[in-house]
Copies of this chain bind each other. A is one copy, B any other.
Amino acid sequence: MKKQKPLILVTNDDGITAPGIVALVEIMKTLGDVVVVAPDKPQSGMGHAITINSTLRLHKTKTHGIKEEYSCSGTPVDCVKFAVNKILKRKPDLCVSGINHGSNMSINVIYSGTMSAAVEGAIESIPSVGFSLCDYSHDADFSAAKKIIKTIVENVLKNGLPKDVCLNVNIPKLKYDKIKGIKICRQARANWVEELDERHDPSGKPYYWLTGRFENYDKGKKDTDVWAIENNYVSVVPTQFDLTAHNAIKEIENRWKL
């Protein structure tokens, strides 16, 4: 009996027509049977949002030239829920999200639609990986990223992932031969110092754009993703969905004397 090809679910947060997902689908086609379920519009910064107070639409598309591809009116997490519970006939062997146009290092993982889709895959017990290229340009060069992604996905398909863990992969904006290697890291402790950019509409009323400055509190720490990228490595952060601070349970019990 012929071995079944891996079933690969592809999604993203930049929308189903973004160059990043086009590149990702191209690689995945060489590795298995691909199904795409991705947002019909940009969904950056949507984090782990789901659509519960309004309705969802799903449309067949022909962006990627494959049999099963759909655009969804919801968030990246909605897309994974749709795929798993409505579209796919069996649980996929892999869920990949991206390639995101821009970094999802450090604290950005929690705001990222790209990574939240991968985290939702992990919640569904699907080996899942989110990919980001540290280049915000629409016309970014994905050629080095494609080679890296192929290596990582082959590894995941062959060796699996630890239970309840997905991967957050960030790729530096470099030619392939300038990339020093792949580093498994932790997310750097960092934060956005926000500036609410105040403007005025034609009637004179104020409105705001969220913008800010990234502050890395783990500067120079070699075990972090930010260090890896700054030093020309691909960063791979094993990422979990259990938010329990397990070490804090005893500490709080002691402090509170319940």
User: Are the C-beta atoms of B85 and A184 separated by less than 8 Å?
Assistant: no
Q: Is A124 an interface residue (CB 8 A)?
A: yes
User: Are the C-beta atoms of A245 and B256 separated by less than 8 Å?
Assistant: no
Q: Is A8 an interface residue (CB 8 A)?
A: no
Number of interface residues of A (CB under 8 A): 82
Q: Is A176 an interface residue (CB 8 A)?
A: no
Interface hub of A56, A242, A246 (most chain B Cβ within 10 A): A242
The smallest beta-carbon distance between A86 and chain B, in angstroms, is: 5
Classify the interface of chain A: helix, strand, loop or mixed: mixed
A46 proximity list for chain B (CB < 8 A): 47, 49
CB pairs A–B below 8 angstroms (26 shown): A44-B52, A45-B51, A45-B52, A47-B49, A47-B116, A48-B111, A50-B111, A57-B205, A57-B208, A81-B194, A84-B194, A85-B194, A85-B196, A86-B208, A159-B256, A160-B255, A162-B252, A165-B245, A183-B258, A184-B258, A186-B246, A187-B244, A237-B244, A238-B251, A241-B243, A243-B243
Known: A48-B111, A187-B244, A239-B244. 10 other contacts (CB 8 A): A42-B53, A52-B210, A56-B209, A57-B205, A84-B194, A110-B123, A161-B248, A182-B256, A184-B253, A241-B243
